[in-house]
């Protein structure tokens, strides 16, 4: 009995030891992003225009927070101009739509989901989904009166993040927004 008690005295403390976990406060793991790229709008008459005619610059500023090695969330303000093509006989041509968009996106780190977590990993691959609010301003088309629009849009995307240093990363992102039919100022049935 004494031998069992003695062994228990040596084993019990080793079983009760726990790894110390350092909790990060609310101020940890925030990030800021500045983005510049291109935007392409798929609309009713796009097949009559060249790809380059509908390609426009797109800019965004974001801030967000990592909640775990797998999840993050960001708020983003984005926009500039969208180009569309209208097929209306002699009034056919490209017109621009100035817009601003606010997005709230949730991120899932696919690299950490399938591989073990490494804080210094040089590349991480993310999937994200979110919701946005889009406001368009008066369009610059003389063919008809195009008014302002407001809409809620679902969005999804992928992001590749290249770690350049402890504080700087370069990312490449592809995102798709499901705009309402009146985003381009025209509501038209599917052809």
pLDDT given at position 183: 67
Q: Is-contact 102 77, C-beta < 8 A?
A: yes
pLDDT given at position 97: 81
What is the C-alpha separation between 147 and 95, in angstroms, rounded? 13
How confident is the chain (191 residues) per 10-residue block, as mean pLDDT?
Answer: 49 46 68 88 71 82 92 93 73 78 94 87 93 81 65 92 89 86 63 51
Cα–Cα distances (Å) from 91 to 9, 60, 85, 100, 115, in that order, read 91, 33, 10, 27, 55
pLDDT given at position 139: 61
């Amino acid at each position: 009995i004494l031998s069992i008690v003695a062994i228990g005295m040596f084993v019990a403390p080793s079983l009760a030891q726990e790894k110390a976990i350092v909790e990060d406060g609310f101020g940890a793991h925030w990030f800021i992003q500045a983005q510049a790229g291109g935007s392409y709008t798929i609309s009713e008459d796009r097949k009559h225009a060249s790809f380059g005619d509908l390609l426009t610059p797109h800019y965004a500023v974001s801030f967000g927070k990592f909640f775990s090695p797998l999840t993050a969330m960001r708020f983003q303000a984005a926009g500039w101009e969208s180009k569309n093509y209208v097929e209306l006989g002699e009034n056919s041509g490209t017109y621009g739509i100035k817009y601003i968009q606010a997005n709230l996106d949730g991120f899932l780190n696919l690299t950490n989901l399938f591989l073990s977590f490494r804080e210094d990993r040089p590349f991480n691959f993310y999937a994200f989904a979110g919701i946005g609010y889009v406001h368009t301003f008066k369009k610059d088309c003389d063919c008809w009166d195009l008014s302002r629009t407001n809409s809620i849009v679902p969005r999804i995307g992928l992001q590749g993040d290249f770690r350049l240093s402890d504080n700087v990363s370069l990312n490449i992102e592809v995102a798709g927004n499901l705009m309402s039919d009146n985003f381009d100022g025209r509501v038209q049935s599917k052809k």
